[in-house]
């Protein structure tokens, strides 16, 4: 069967200026941001193409698949709307380039120097926006902030400091103040590299950094999905993405109104909001939706489940997540409790979407940093606001550590140094010292044990129970309290 490419009769491409540089080729951005931009192009409210690069500049399989398919792919959305099953498939044509800057540095440089370039979109995971003392004078710097610093410095020099040639950054990482922290690290890199005050002033005056909040459950694709597309379309699509119907993009900050003028996505009937701050949306979304995902993923995997739908069909896990949200998450969010309960009910309904094959292993990617970002704030607020050691939150931490144990059936996809540290310091005969070593390491940015009295002992208790009695019995004991 033929592969999807520009020669297919279904493809109707329009030549558009490349205004968007996207750091991230993964399923989420392609089923969310690129789907949104593609829809807005069709509605006539914007006119842009997207150039996609992998955040680490590697020539990976997804980039290769996009290249082979002339950057075309389908997004298949399924769910229940007003009680009725609904499915829609959209052929995405907004991406015109997908490449590795390591393999094609001249193309990358030409994009940076393009007067048409206006937006930078990123999703480099919670670990992506971090500071490391790498060489930010090189376009191929090691870290994402280093790469962006080099990009901006190159553009600044190329246009001789033209104030009209700044860029707008829309950071989609699920971390608090994502764009604000990126800007902070750019300034730090620039100062260390001696790039000068004039460059820093240009970044301040000419560039806009918008914190954003994103929401859509994206499951990638399965073999069955590919076969379905093959049957329906008559071609193979190796970059197909599946997701839910729901989407939300909140773009916030001082520059949000300026972004709305240049990128009026809301005028396309899309669920996109431009607000002074994303905090209100972020607190409830990250803590309830993402916190529930990350909180239950380890115990669900250890219990033998493969997908989110399976996990929420599991009576004990379903009960655990509902209690976790009701007893520990909602009480410490500063918002109307009834509105939060309504929001939570909508979230939990999305988890039980039978059409989304959301693999737990994909959620478990980089679980260590995800737990700190999504779950630790709830644990901390329970202590500081209610003087309460949140048992269920602690149990999610213990299950997370058990999932990373050297003899775990799960193979973590995470920072190799952190995975190795846990393996090297694991001692089943003294789990308290194991937990203490992990909490006191640089795996997390804070030592949870020192911040939360009793956490070390309670985590050790639950981890011991999981290791000795198994996840099912340990979970039943916690739920019986």
Average pLDDT of every residue of the chain: 94
Give the bridge partners for 84, in sequence order: 81
Average pLDDT over residues 402-426: 95
Question: What pLDDT, in 10s, does the model give residues 353-367?
Answer: 888 778 899 899 999
So what's the pLDDT on residue 126?
67
How is residue 38 written in tokens?
Answer: 């593609």
Whether the predicted pLDDT of 350 surpasses 90: no
What Cα–Cα distance (Å) separates residue 95 from each residue in 16, 29, 71, 111, 218?
10, 11, 6, 14, 19
Count of CA atoms in the C-beta half-sphere (13 A) of 341: 7
Q: Which residue has the tokens 């393009």?
A: 114
User: What is the per-residue DSSP string for 184-199?
Assistant: HHHHHHHHHTT--HHH
Whether the predicted pLDDT of 89 surpasses 70: yes
Give the whole-angstrom CA distance, residue 245 versus residue 379.
31
- Furthest-apart CA pair in the chain: how many Å? 67
Q: Which residue has the tokens 């190796």?
A: 238
Taking the model in full, what pTM does it have?
0.78
What strand order describes the sheet that includes 241-244?
84-92, 73-81, 241-244, 218-220
Whether the predicted pLDDT of 77 surpasses 80: yes
Give the whole-angstrom CA distance, residue 353 versus residue 346.
11
Instruction: With beta carbons less than 8 A apart as the criterion, state whether 138 and 69 touch.
Output: no
Alpha-carbon torsion (380, 382, 384, 388), positive or negative: negative
Within 54-176, strands assigned E span 73-81, 84-92, 95-99, 119-122, 168-171
Give the bridge partners for 80, in sequence order: 85
What strand order describes the sheet that includes 49-53?
95-99, 49-53, 18-23, 119-122, 168-171, 208-215, 248-252, 272-275
So what's the pLDDT on residue 358?
83
So what's the pLDDT on residue 186?
98
User: What is the per-residue DSSP string for 229-243?
Assistant: HHHHHSSB-TT-EEE
Give the whole-angstrom CA distance, residue 68 versus residue 239.
10
So what's the pLDDT on residue 6?
93
431 or 13, which is more confident:
431
Average pLDDT over residues 275-279: 90
| Ramachandran bin of 418, using left for φ above 0, alpha for ψ from -120 to 50, beta for the remaining angles | alpha
Question: What pLDDT, in 10s, does the model give residues 175-201?
Answer: 888 999 999 999 999 999 999 999 999
User: What is the per-residue DSSP string for 282-294?
Assistant: HHHIIIIIIHHHH
**pLDDT > 70: percent of the chain:** 100
Query: Each residue of 324-339: b (16+ CB within 10 Å) or e?
Result: bbeebbbbbbeeeeee
């Amino acid at each position: 069967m033929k592969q999807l490419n520009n020669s297919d009769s279904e493809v109707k491409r329009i030549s558009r200026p490349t205004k968007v540089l996207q750091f991230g080729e993964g399923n989420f951005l392609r089923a969310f941001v690129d789907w949104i931009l593609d829809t807005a192009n069709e509605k006539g409210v914007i006119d842009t193409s997207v150039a996609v690069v992998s955040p680490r500049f590697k020539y990976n399989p997804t980039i290769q698949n996009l290249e082979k398919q002339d950057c075309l792919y389908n997004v298949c959305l399924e769910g229940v709307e007003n009680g009725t099953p609904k499915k829609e498939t959209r052929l995405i044509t907004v991406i015109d380039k997908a490449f590795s800057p390591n393999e094609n540095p001249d193309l990358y440089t030409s994009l940076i120097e393009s007067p048409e370039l206006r937006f930078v979109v990123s999703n480099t995971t919670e670990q992506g926006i971090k500071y490391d003392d790498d060489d930010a004078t090189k376009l191929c710097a090691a870290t994402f902030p280093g790469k962006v610093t080099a990009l901006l410095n190159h553009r600044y020099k190329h246009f001789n400091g033209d104030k009209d040639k700044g860029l707008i950054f829309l950071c989609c990482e699920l971390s608090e103040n994502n764009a604000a922290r990126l800007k902070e690290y750019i300034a730090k890199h620039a100062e260390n590299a001696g790039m000068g005050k004039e460059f820093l002033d240009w970044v301040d005056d000419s560039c806009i950094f918008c914190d954003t909040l994103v929401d859509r459950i994206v499951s990638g694709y399965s073999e069955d999905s590919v076969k379905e597309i093959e049957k329906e379309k008559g071609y193979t699509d190796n970059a197909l993405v599946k997701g839910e119907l729901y989407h939300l993009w909140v773009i916030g900050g001082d520059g949000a109104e300026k972004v709305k003028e240049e990128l009026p996505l809301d005028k396309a009937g899309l669920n996109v909001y431009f607000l002074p701050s994303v905090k209100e949306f972020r607190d409830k979304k990250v803590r309830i939706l993402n916190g529930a995902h990350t909180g239950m993923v380890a115990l669900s995997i250890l219990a033998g489940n493969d997908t989110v739908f399976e996990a929420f069909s599991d009576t004990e896990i379903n009960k655990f997540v509902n209690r976790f949200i009701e007893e520990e998450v909602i009480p410490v969010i500063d918002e109307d409790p009834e509105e939060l309960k309504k929001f939570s009910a909508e979230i939990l309904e999305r988890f039980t979407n039978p059409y989304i094959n959301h693999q737990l292993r994909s959620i478990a990617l980089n679980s260590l940093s995800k737990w700190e970002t999504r779950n630790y704030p709830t644990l901390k607020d329970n202590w500081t606001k209610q003087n309460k050691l949140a048992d269920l939150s602690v149990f999610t931490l213990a299950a997370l550590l058990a999932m990373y144990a050297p003899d775990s059936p799960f193979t973590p996809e995470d920072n190799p140094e952190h995975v190795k540290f846990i393996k090297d310091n694991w001692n089943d005969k003294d789990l308290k010292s194991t937990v203490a070593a992990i909490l006191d390491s640089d795996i997390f940015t804070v030592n949870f044990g020192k911040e939360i009295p009793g956490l070390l002992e309670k985590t050790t208790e639950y981890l011991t129970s999981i290791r000795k009695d198994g996840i099912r019995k340990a979970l039943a004991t916690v739920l019986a309290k």
